[in-house]
Amino acid sequence: MKIAIVYFSKTGNTKKVADLIAEGAKKAEKVEVKAMSIEEADYEFLNEAKTIIVGTPTIAGTFSWQIKQWLDTSSNPMFAGKLGAVFATANYVGGGAEVAELALLAELLVKGMLVYSSGAGEGQPFIHYGPVCIKDGDAGQKERAVIFGERVAKKTAELFR
């Protein structure tokens, strides 16, 4: 079962967090995980993936225009019916990362995706909309990114056996 993590990274921080999420997702059995930038997207892998996790830096309190353009112009992959999740990075606390995540989740819903974050349903740590890391994350933020990857992989296996 394939899980794709696709992101835009302006400074490298979002890529680092994508790699942490991939590390967590790879802990699940029978899961193939691939993290990729939008510039190097593997559309064959994205089309075959059951889950697509989208990552973005927070720019002016929302997700990046590069992710918006990629979502708007990608006829592939087919998003409908897949599990979708999001994560964001920001330069500082209060930089709008949760707003960016909510807006990005709305984009995935419009694409026909089922969205998942694990919320409070999996207990501590709560990951309401998706993990947020300031820059590339402190120790706790990095741990939550790995846990998020594990939880999304577990949900993928539950839904798409």
CATH number at residue 107: 3.40.50.360
Structural domain that includes position 123: 2-159
Q: What is the rounded distance in angstroms from the CA atom of residue 136 to the CA atom of residue 134?
A: 6
Mean pLDDT of 1-19: 97
Strands 83-90 and 114-115: parallel
For the chain, how many structural domains are there in total?
1
* Residue closest to 80 by CA, chosen among 117, 108, 41, 44: 108
Whether residue 143 is predicted with pLDDT greater than 90 in this model: the reply is yes
Residues in the chain: 161
Mean pLDDT of 145-152: 98
Encode pLDDT of 68-114 as tens digits.
999 999 876 789 999 999 999 999 998 899 999 999 999 999 999 99
Mean pLDDT of 10-19: 97
Encode pLDDT of 19-59 as tens digits.
999 999 999 999 999 999 999 999 999 999 999 999 999 99
The model's confidence at residue 161, banded by pLDDT at 50, 70 and 90, is: confident
Whether residue 150 is predicted with pLDDT greater than 80 in this model: the reply is yes
